[in-house]
Every structure is written in structure tokens, then in C-alpha cells.
């Protein structure tokens, strides 16, 4: 039996209607909360009143876009000014990542950039993060169950991680009802991110019996749920996507990722394109590149392809075209930039989990296929 560790949020609560438990769950975690929320989240607005009614001091921070150096510094400053001793993050993956970064850095001293991977030293945090409660309002990144926050570094043209084992939320509160009625544009990209995270954890060199058991039953469920939601609103499909998202976060936190995420991190920093859309468009070409290695890797890829085609009766790339997912050229990737992006992607932390070492040429070919 393979030795392995498994890390997860301190407590996970999943189910429709469970978001109402938020005030009670915060009791004992802190007295003054920094509430980081998305501007479009109805529940995020309601949560502020709920928390105040429970006796908690609340300072609100409205997040916009994906977190970058400036927004992280703003969130840390806001939390310190409010003397926050608790962070509550309600929103999509970007909002939760901003909340995680704030919780991690509010207690920290010194130059926080050294804690970043790739552009910094990836140093551990100086101090333990503040308690964190995370409530996702989209189904995709699984950020409520991961130990990192993805942060854009514009001057480097990269998205990199702030990572520490202590950044796992104390409470992950997943209520699928918070995702009901999300528009297709907010459903497709994040949903494909969850799918790719499950698949890459399955293929990863860091996969364990536990992560295999977590992702194998869910990989076949994601694309049919998305296809249902493309046609009409469906609570059961929303529930399936919320479970897949949560589980994909746990899977990547313990089993790693691969080349699709390695490339997407660089592309996102260069193009400003949505992360999930990038991952979804890259997954098909990455699967084919990994399958070419043969052996056990090819067998695992073949299993993924069988799950996909068995569920959809078509290949992943064809379904993505039908679903309206743009190709990389439409997102702004130029042919002349493929080699440079491939070289940069080789240094990403996600690439370390890919089951095959891919050359710059192979990665550039993947970018070409996805264009």
C-alpha cells in the first residue's frame, strides 16, 4: 500500500440550505470579521446583516476580478484597519482566493512577496493565518478546499500561488443553492476547471489511492451535468457540480495537477482570459500528449476518454466547440508567443504533477492544437 497524507479543511458542510448556518459556525472563531464578497452575490449582501445580527463585528470588502498584487495588499490593509480576527469569503474562486490571501497575510510581517511561488521564494508564512470560513457561489475552482491562493503578478505577466498548508479554510460551507440560476458564462468556465482538476489529479504523479477514490466516481458526472445546465436550469445538476468542485479542490490539494494548469497559469497572466476556459480548451490536447507516452499513463488517459465519450457520445474537444468555449487564438494567443509561453509553463508548480515530462516543443504543439 502506498504511503500518503491527506489534508482537508477543518470542517466541510455540504447541502442545500446550509448557508443559513453561517452565523452559528462563526461563533467562537473571532469577534471582528473581514467579509470578502463578490459584488453580484445576493447571499454575500445578506450575510453581512446575518453576521451583524449574531453579534459579530463586520467590515465588508467588495472583490472585483481575479486577485492581483494590488488587490491583495488592499485586502490586507482593510483587514488590519478593521482589526479583523476572522475572514469570511463568499463568492467565486477569485473571491475566495482573495479572502484566503488576506487571512494568510494580515498576521504576517515583512515583505509578503517572498511567500509567492515562481516570482518569490515560496517561503512559508511567518505566522499562522486568521481563521477562515469559505462559501463558494460558483462551482469550479474548489478554492474552499485548497491550501493556496492564485494571485496575478502583472509586471511578471504571470499568475502564481501563495501556498501554505495552514491556508486550508477552517470551515468550507458548500450550499449548491447559492449557484442556482448562474448564467452559462459563469457555469461553463468554472465547471470545466473542476473537470480538469479532477482529471489532472487522476493522472498526476502525486496521485494516491485516496485521491483516486475521490475523483474516479466524479469525472464521468461533470460534463453531463454541464450539458444539462446548458439546456435548462436543474437543481440536481447544480448539486452534482458543487460536489465535483469541492472534491476537485481536495483532489488537487493532495494529488497535484498537470500540464493544462501549468499552461493556463502562464496564459492567464498574459492574456487575462478566464482560467476555467483556458483549462477546458487545453485538456483535450494535453490528454493526447500524455497518451503518446504509452504504458500506464496511456491506460489512465484511455479511461478518462472512455468516461467522457461514454457520457457525451463525442470527444471532449467537439463538446467544447458545441458548448461555445472559445479557442486560444480567439482568447488572444499569438502563434509567435507559443514557444515563450511553453518555456515559462515548464517552471510552474502545476507542471510537476504531469505524468509525462513534456518538452517545449510538445507544449507549444498543445497550444497550437488548442488554438
d(CA 232, CA 277): 21
Mean pLDDT lowest among 11-25, 34-48, 74-88: 34-48
| Cα Rg of the chain, angstroms | 20
- Res. 36: pLDDT tops 80: yes
Tell me what pLDDT residue 1 has. 61
Tell me how far apart the alpha carbons of residues 106 and 130 are, in angstroms, rounded to a whole number.
7
Beta strands in 64-146 (DSSP E): 86-91, 132-136
Mean pLDDT rounded to a whole number for the chain: 94
Rounded-to-integer distance, Cα 316 and Cα 153, Å: 31
Say if residue 266's pLDDT is above 80. yes
Q: What mean pLDDT comes out for the span 169-179?
A: 98
Pairing of strands 148-153, 158-163: antiparallel
pLDDT above 90 for 96: yes
Q: How many angstroms separate the CA atoms of 158 and 151, rounded?
A: 8
Q: State yes or no: pLDDT of 2 exceeds 80.
A: no
**Three cell numbers, residue 282:** 487545453
Q: What are phi and psi of 217, to 5 degrees?
A: -70, -20
pLDDT-based confidence at residue 159 (cuts at 50, 70, 90): confident
- Give the DSSP letter of residue 134: E
What is the grid cell recorded at 314? 463525442
Mean pLDDT in residue range 59-76:
94
Average pLDDT value for residue range 275-284: 95
In this structure, how many other beta carbons lie within 10 angstroms of the beta carbon of residue 339? 14
Model confidence at 39, pLDDT cuts 50, 70, 90, reads: confident
Given a cut of 70, is residue 179 above it in pLDDT? Answer: yes
What gap in Å lies between CA 90 and CA 138, rounded to an integer? 10
CB contact set of 185 (below 8 Å; sequence gap of 6+): none
Identify the residue with better confidence: 233 or 273.
233
**185-207 confidence digits (pLDDT tens):** 899 999 999 999 999 999 999 99
Which distant-in-sequence residues (6+ apart) come within 8 Å of 253 by Cβ? 7, 8, 145, 146, 147, 148, 168
Residue 282 CA to residue 358 CA, distance in Å, equals: 14
Amino acid at each position: 500500500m502506498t504511503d500518503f497524507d491527506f489534508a482537508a479543511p477543518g470542517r466541510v458542510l455540504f447541502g442545500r440550505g446550509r448557508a443559513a448556518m453561517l452565523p452559528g459556525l462563526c461563533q467562537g472563531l473571532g469577534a471582528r470579521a473581514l467579509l470578502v464578497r463578490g459584488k453580484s452575490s445576493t447571499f454575500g449582501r445578506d450575510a453581512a446583516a446575518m453576521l451583524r445580527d449574531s453579534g459579530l463585528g463586520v467590515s465588508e470588502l467588495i472583490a472585483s476580478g481575479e486577485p492581483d498584487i494590488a488587490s491583495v495588499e488592499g485586502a490586507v490593509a482593510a483587514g488590519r484597519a478593521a482589526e479583523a480576527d476572522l475572514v469570511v469569503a463568499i463568492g467565486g474562486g477569485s473571491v475566495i482566493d482573495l479572502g484566503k490571501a488576506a487571512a494568510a497575510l494580515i498576521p504576517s510581517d515583512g515583505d509578503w512577496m517572498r511567500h509567492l511561488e515562481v516570482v518569490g521564494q515560496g517561503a512559508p508564512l511567518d505566522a499562522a493565518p486568521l481563521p477562515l470560513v469559505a462559501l463558494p457561489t460558483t462551482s469550479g475552482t474548489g478554492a474552499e478546499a485548497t491550501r493556496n491562493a492564485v494571485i496575478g503578478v502583472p509586471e511578471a505577466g504571470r499568475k502564481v500561488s501563495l501556498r501554505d498548508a495552514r491556508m486550508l479554510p477552517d470551515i468550507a460551507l458548500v450550499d449548491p443553492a447559492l449557484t442556482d440560476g448562474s448564467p452559462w458564462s459563469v457555469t461553463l468556465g468554472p465547471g470545466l476547471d473542476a473537470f480538469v482538476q479532477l482529471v489532472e489529479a487522476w493522472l498526476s504523479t502525486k496521485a494516491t489511492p485516496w485521491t483516486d477514490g475521490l475523483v474516479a466516481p466524479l469525472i464521468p458526472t461533470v460534463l453531463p451535468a454541464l450539458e444539462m445546465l446548458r439546456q435548462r436550469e436543474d437543481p440536481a445538476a447544480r448539486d452534482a457540480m458543487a460536489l465535483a468542485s469541492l472534491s476537485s479542490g481536495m483532489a488537487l490539494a493532495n494529488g497535484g495537477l498537470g500540464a493544462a494548469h501549468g499552461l493556463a497559469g502562464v496564459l492567464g497572466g498574459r492574456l487575462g482570459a478566464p482560467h476555467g476556459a483556458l483549462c477546458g480548451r487545453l485538456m483535450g490536447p494535453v490528454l493526447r500528449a500524455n497518451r503518446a507516452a504509452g504504458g500506464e499513463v496511456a491506460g489512465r488517459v484511455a479511461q478518462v476518454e472512455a468516461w467522457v465519450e461514454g457520457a457525451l457520445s463525442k470527444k471532449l474537444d467537439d463538446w467544447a466547440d458545441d458548448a461555445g468555449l472559445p479557442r486560444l487564438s480567439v482568447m488572444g494567443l499569438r502563434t509567435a508567443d507559443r514557444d515563450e509561453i511553453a518555456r515559462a509553463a515548464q517552471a510552474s508548480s502545476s507542471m510537476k504533477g504531469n505524468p509525462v515530462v513534456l518538452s517545449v516543443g510538445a507544449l507549444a504543439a498543445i497550444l497550437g492544437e488548442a488554438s
